[in-house]
Amino acid sequence: MPVTSEPTPTFSLAPYKELDNSALADRIDAIRKDWGKRLVILGHHYQQDEVIAHSDLRGDSLRLSQLAADSHECRAIVFCGVHFMAETADILANRSAKVIERQGERVSVILPDMAAGCSMADMAQIDQVEAAWEELSEWLDTEKIIPVTYINSTAALKAFCGRHNGIVCTSSNAEKVLRWSLERGERVFFFPDQHLGRNTAISMGIDVARMPVWDPSADEGGGNTSDALRESRVLLWKGHCSVHQMFTAAHVTQFREKFPGIKILVHPECPQDVFETADASGSTAKIIDIVQQSPAGTQWAIGTELHLVNRLREEHPEQDIHFLSPVVCMCATMYRIDLAHLCWSLENLDAKTPVGRIEVDPEIAEWSLVALDRMLELS
C-alpha cells in the first residue's frame, strides 16, 4: 500500500480558500522564485488554466513520467494531476540510483489535494487482480500471460505487472507495449481500461472476438466461458474512464450532420464505436500536436476532457473547435487541484511540514519500477 505521511501542517487550508486567484498567484510565484530549480511543478493537460499557468512543465502521462525520471536538481515535485501520477513520479524520481546520486536525499512528491484520485485506477484493486490471476490459472498457464497495466493504475497493480514479467503503458505507447507483450506471451491481460486495450488491439488487427472482458464481480471466469478465455489474445479488465465513456457514436453523427467535413479527434479512452468512427485519435499530447499542425479554418469536434478542449479553442482561434458532447465531460478529480490547494501545499512544503506527500512503499516501488522501466526503455 502507498505510504503517505502527513505531519501537522503549519498552515490550514481554510484561509487559502478565502483568497482571490491573484493573491494566491503572487504567493505561489514567491515560493517558486525562492526555491528555483529545487522545485518542479508538473501539470497534466487536463488541469485548469490557472494551475497550468504555474506549471514549470506540462505534458501527457508519458512525458510527465519521463520528466520525473530525469529530475536532477529538483528536491520537490508538486504534481498537479491525480494520485497515480504522483505515485509514479515518486517511484521514478526516488529510484535507488538517484537517491545515492543525491547522497541519500529523497525528492518530496506532493499531491496538492489527496482527494484527487482516478476512478478508473480505483476499478482495478490489487486483491481483485490477484484473485482473477489465481482463478485464471485453473484454465490457462499464467506464465504465458503478460499483464499490462495502463499507467492510470495503482502502484500495487504496476508492481504486480513487474513481478509477473509485465509492463506499464500510456495512451502514447500502448501499441508498442502490446506488440512487445505479445512477442513474449500467448496473451495479454490488460488493466484497467477496457477501451484503451480494445481500441489499441483493434488498431493492430486483432479480432475483437478474441478480447473477452473480465468482470471482477462475476461469479466465475470473470463472466467468460473457458473456451473464450482459451481463445483470447487480449483479455480486458472491466474498467473505464467515466469522463471518456460519456462520448457516444451519436455525438459523432450529430456533428457530422450539422457540420459536413468536420473532423472528429478523440482520446483512445473513448468507447470502440467512437474511436472507430473518429478521423484521428491519440493521447492528450498527440491531440494537441494534431491541432497545432492543422491549417487555419480546420473544423474539429474533440472528445477528451473539457479543460483541454477549451484551452485548445482559446489557443487556436484560427480553427473552429467544438467539444464532442452536449454535456459537460470533465474530470472532477483533476479539477480538485486549484490555486488554493497549490498555494497551501507550497507554503507548507516551504515551512517543512509538507502536506499531501506521496511516498510509495519501498517493495511496491521496486517492482513497479521494473514494469515502468520496461516501458521507458521502449519509449
CA distances from 53 to 58, 67, 222, 316, 328 (A): 10, 18, 44, 17, 23
**Beta strands, E only, 66-197:** 76-80, 108-110, 145-150, 167-169, 187-191
- Asked if 200 interacts with ligand 13P (CB under 6 A), we say no
- Asked if 285 interacts with ligand SF4 (CB under 6 A), we say no
Stretch that binds ligand SF4, among 50-58, 172-180, 221-229, 241-249 (CB under 6 A): 241-249
Q: Of 23 and 115, which CB lies nearer to ligand SF4 in the complex structure?
A: 115
Site track 39-78 with ligand SF4 (rule: CB under 6 A), x = hit: ----------------------------------------
- Asked if 170 interacts with ligand 13P (CB under 6 A), we say yes
Whether 43 and 52 have beta carbons less than 8 Å apart is answered as yes
Q: Of 82 and 291, which CB lies nearer to ligand SF4 in the complex structure?
A: 82
Q: Can you give the length of the chain in residues?
A: 379
- Asked if 347 interacts with ligand 13P (CB under 6 A), we say no
Question: Across the strands, what pairs with 379?
Answer: none
Whether 242 and 120 have beta carbons less than 8 Å apart is answered as yes
What does the alpha-carbon distance between residue 56 and residue 178 come to, in Å, rounded to a whole number?
32
Whether 50 and 85 have beta carbons less than 8 Å apart is answered as no
Question: Across the strands, what pairs with 301?
Answer: 264, 322
Burial zone of 272 (CB within 10 Å; 0-12 exposed, 13-18 middle, 19+ buried): middle
- Asked if 152 interacts with ligand 13P (CB under 6 A), we say yes
Per-residue DSSP letter, 290 = H
**170 is in the binding site of which of ligand 13P, ligand SF4, none (Cβ under 5 to 8 A by kind)?**
ligand 13P
For β-strands 320-323 and 299-303, DSSP reports them as: parallel
Q: How far apart are CB 83 and ligand 13P at their closest, in Å? A: 11
Site track 232-261 with ligand 13P (rule: CB under 6 A), x = hit: ---------x--------------------
Stretch that binds ligand SF4, among 105-113, 117-125, 194-202, 210-218 (CB under 6 A): 117-125
Q: How far apart are CB 182 and ligand 13P at their closest, in Å? A: 22
- Cell numbers 497550468 correspond to what residue? 52
Q: How far apart are CB 59 and ligand 13P at their closest, in Å? A: 7
Residue 237, SS3 per DSSP: strand
- Asked if 334 interacts with ligand SF4 (CB under 6 A), we say yes
Per-residue DSSP letter, 103 = T
**61 is in the binding site of which of ligand 13P, ligand SF4, none (Cβ under 5 to 8 A by kind)?**
ligand 13P
The C-alpha cell at 25 is: 498567484
What does the alpha-carbon distance between residue 302 and residue 325 come to, in Å, rounded to a whole number?
9
- Asked if 113 interacts with ligand SF4 (CB under 6 A), we say no
What does the alpha-carbon distance between residue 360 and residue 366 come to, in Å, rounded to a whole number?
9
- Asked if 241 interacts with ligand SF4 (CB under 6 A), we say yes
Instruction: State which of residues 47, 94, 194, 284 lies at the interface with ligand 13P (CB under 6 A).
Output: 284
What does the alpha-carbon distance between residue 37 and residue 73 come to, in Å, rounded to a whole number?
6
Q: Of 129 and 270, which CB lies nearer to ligand SF4 in the complex structure?
A: 270
- Asked if 310 interacts with ligand SF4 (CB under 6 A), we say no
Query: What are the phi and psi torsion angles at 376 (to 5°)?
Result: -65, -30
Q: Of 228 and 243, which CB lies nearer to ligand SF4 in the complex structure?
A: 243
CA distances from 42 to 36, 66, 79, 109 (A): 14, 11, 5, 10
Q: How far apart are CB 27 and ligand SF4 at their closest, in Å? A: 27
Instruction: State which of residues 61, 181, 200, 281 lies at the interface with ligand 13P (CB under 6 A).
Output: 61
**242 is in the binding site of which of ligand 13P, ligand SF4, none (Cβ under 5 to 8 A by kind)?**
ligand SF4
* Residue 166: partners with Cβ closer than 8 Å, 6 or more residues away: 146, 147, 148, 149, 160, 181, 371, 374
Instruction: State which of residues 55, 94, 149, 171 lies at the interface with ligand 13P (CB under 6 A).
Output: 171
Query: What residues line the site for ligand SF4 (CB under 6 A)?
Result: 82, 118-120, 152, 241-243, 305, 331, 333-334
Residues that bind ligand 13P (CB under 6 A): 45, 60-62, 152, 170-171, 241, 269, 283-284
